[in-house]
Amino acid sequence: MSAEHANEFYIGGAWRRAAGPSSISVVNPASETVIGQIAAGGPEDVDLAVAAARRAFESFSLTSVEARLALLSRILELVEARAELFVQAMVMEMGAAVSFARAAQAPLAAEHVRVQIEVLRRYPFLTCEGTLTIAKEPIGVCALITPWNWPLYQITAKVAPAIAAGCTVVLKPSELSPYSALLFAQLMDDAGVPPGVFNLVNGTGDVVGAALAAHPDVDMISITGSTRAGVLVAQAAAPTVKRVVQELGGKSPNLFLDDADFAQGVAKGVQAGMRNVGQSCSAPTRMLVPADQLAEVETLAAQAVAEICVGDPASEATTMGPIANGAQFRRVQEMIAAGLDDGAKLVCGGLGRPDGLEQGFFVRPTIFSQVTPDMRIAREEIFGPVLSIMPYRDEAEAIAIANDTVYGLGAHLQSQDGERARRIASRIRAGQVHINYPPWDGRAAFGGYKRSGNGREYGVYGLEEYLETKAILGLGGEQEMENGL
């Protein structure tokens, strides 16, 4: 899988050997075996990539909207045509169940590109009012740091709006899921991206990520990752006063009001919380329910877990593959143990691997009940298929529990009363609130309050993160347009 480029980086429109000899092992999480090695970049590789991006920015920032639309259209066509290649890479590198990779990981990644095409066609880069012109201009060279849990989806969520804006980029994908990124780099080359507009350097966060964050010729850095990683990037970026966009951790609530459709809603809530093996920053892993309906919810949740098939991610019958890597597997086991130690009621699942799976980073889908806000499983991001059911007495307490977190990325709300649901949604401190499980929408602003980050991604909101605002005063709007400003 992309073995011919495993020891190379894509810089300045060509594949180049890494400057140093360091390498990183890639492990298949379903077998725990090493399936390859990739080159580990260093500061010299970062310097080359940033310099290539800086050279390319001078001309690419001046390209027409039509030229950028044509490039994005070619990228979209290739993402869709090569979807199965990406699917198989993600099955192998991060253990995504093949059915889920085909249903979500690949098509939603393509959707990010399609949405940016839609946004770019109608975005007003110039607005004029009398003698005032407001210009939206590309911010410059952008460093993009993407995670292992949605490897292709997060790449397109950043690359597509950056290209649409007229920026040039250096991508540092997760070293734990690198093959889909290498495939994407080849795709960009085949799409005819101008040399230097897109660059890729593999490596670790503490080396390549840190070098990008501190680099004086990088104008913006966008990171999706843990809150800890986001803090480190912001600290490294501060001396150069570059823009930092962070999509970080979450501990999202799923609040069931007393008029909710529990029969269907609980099962959907379990699916939402455990989607992608629970490895989503916005996963609604705290299910808040009326105390007098706790027993009913426990039964419904356990029934939903019983429908999950954990196993070989390459099998069509599997609905949940392994945790994506060994460190995260150990983290999930630690948090399940913490739930038991803190006295939460174990409804199903628990420590260890599911029966019949002796190898691989497989975990038992786990539900705890009678979880209180002070427990670790209620406060810390677990990033695995572990759901906490938390009872509340009244609406005021429900809202308080929902907001009792240092995070604020997403939230779910279940009610058959639309007016009541909207009123409560306005009181939840989160960047997205989903009422009654609406379809995913690539136009909806995505980002968090509090320690879930700064800035927004997706749709027009994602595009604007890659733009600077310039006020031009004097002359008339028509003259500004004639002069190409």
CB 40 within 8 A of CB 203: yes
Of the CA atoms within 13 Å of residue 277, those in its CB half-sphere come to 32
Q: What is the pLDDT of residue 475?
A: 76
Single-letter amino acid, residue 101: A
Q: Is the pLDDT of residue 448 over 80?
A: yes
The closest alpha carbon to 289, from 196, 136, 397, 195, belongs to 397
* Lookup: tokens for 229: 């990683």
Per annotation, catalytic residue among 128, 142, 167, 281 = 281
DSSP 5: G
CB 387 within 8 A of CB 287: yes
**Locus of tokens 């019983």:** 306
Q: What is the pLDDT of residue 24?
A: 98
Q: What is the pLDDT of residue 478?
A: 53
Q: What is the pLDDT of residue 3?
A: 65
- What residues have CB less than 8 Å from 129, skipping those under 6 apart? 477
Q: What is the pLDDT of residue 4?
A: 77
Q: What percent of the chain has pLDDT over 70?
A: 97
The closest alpha carbon to 445, from 416, 465, 417, belongs to 465
Q: What is the pLDDT of residue 212?
A: 98
Rounded CA separation 380/249 (Å): 9
DSSP 406: S
* Lookup: tokens for 383: 């990033």
Whether 281 is catalytic = yes
Rounded CA separation 230/322 (Å): 26
Q: Is the pLDDT of residue 177 over 80?
A: yes
Rounded CA separation 8/4 (Å): 8
CB 356 within 8 A of CB 57: no
Per annotation, catalytic residue among 8, 247, 381, 457 = 247
Whether 464 is catalytic = no
pLDDT in tens, 331-361: 999 999 999 999 999 999 999 999 999 999 9
Mean pLDDT, the chain, rounded, equals 96
Q: What structural domains and CATH numbers belong to the chain?
A: 3-248+452-482 (3.40.605.10), 253-435 (3.40.309.10)
Q: Is the pLDDT of residue 482 over 90?
A: no
DSSP 311: S
Measure CA of the first residue to CA of the last residue in the chain; give whole Å. 46
pLDDT in tens, 86-107: 999 999 999 999 999 999 999 9
The closest alpha carbon to 217, from 57, 45, 50, belongs to 50
pLDDT in tens, 118-164: 999 999 999 999 999 999 999 999 999 999 999 999 999 999 999 99
Q: Is the pLDDT of residue 387 over 80?
A: yes
pLDDT in tens, 299-339: 999 999 999 999 999 999 999 999 999 999 999 999 999 99
Query: Strand 243-247's sheet: what is its strand order?
Result: 14-17, 8-11, 198-200, 168-172, 141-145, 220-224, 243-247, 453-454
pLDDT in tens, 46-91: 999 999 999 999 999 999 999 999 999 999 999 999 999 999 999 9
Q: Please, which pLDDT band fits residue 282 given cuts at 50, 70 and 90?
A: very high
* Lookup: tokens for 245: 């966009």
Rounded CA separation 100/97 (Å): 5
SS percent in the chain: helix, strand, coil, step 5:
45, 20, 35
Q: What is the pLDDT of residue 77?
A: 98
Residue 214 phi, psi (nearest 5): -90, -10
Residues in the chain: 485
Q: Please, which pLDDT band fits residue 477 given cuts at 50, 70 and 90?
A: low
pLDDT in tens, 27-53: 999 999 999 999 999 999 999 999 999
Rounded CA separation 467/361 (Å): 41
Residue 134 phi, psi (nearest 5): -105, 120
Rounded alpha-carbon distances, angstroms, from residue 373 to 51, 80, 390, 391, 392: 49, 44, 8, 10, 11
